[in-house]
Structure formats: structure tokens, C-alpha cells
């Protein structure tokens, strides 16, 4: 799935923790994401890039 990022990939990219990403998802402030199986989260790479450009990340 090269068009997606795992939770850990995005945490490394943004230099933040997985917990921070979970809080962002819970508050509706995260890029488009979906759940794979029971415990894995994926983020759409294009949505991440758009989010970064809009939020001056």
C-alpha cells in the first residue's frame, strides 16, 4: 500500500507520538484515515500531503 502511511510512518514524518495522532483522530483534526483489521490505522498519503500544505506542518 504505497499510497498510504501507517500510524508509525506518520508519527515519524511529523515527529510526534502515535498517541498524538490518536488524539487528533478522536478530535476530528487528522487527515483521512481508515482502519485495517482490528488494530492497524492507515492514512491516505495524498490526504496527508494536502493536510500538511493547509496546516503549515
Please tell me the predicted confidence (pLDDT) of residue 22. Answer: 96
Q: Per residue in 9-29, pLDDT tens?
A: 999 999 999 999 999 999 999
pTM of the model: 0.87
What is the distance between the alpha carbons of residues 29 and 27, in angstroms, rounded to a whole number? Answer: 6
32 in Cβ contact with 44 (< 8 Å): yes
In the chain, where are the structural domains located? 4-55
pLDDT of residue 57: 55
- Residue 26: its pLDDT value, please? 96
Amino acid at each position: 500500500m504505497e499510497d498510504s502511511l501507517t500510524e508509525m510512518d506518520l508519527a515519524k514524518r511529523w515527529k510526534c507520538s502515535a498517541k498524538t495522532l490518536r488524539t487528533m483522530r478522536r478530535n476530528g483534526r487528522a487527515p483521512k484515515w481508515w482502519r485495517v483489521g482490528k488494530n492497524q490505522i492507515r492514512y491516505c498519503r495524498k490526504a496527508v500531503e494536502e493536510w500538511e500544505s493547509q496546516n503549515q506542518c
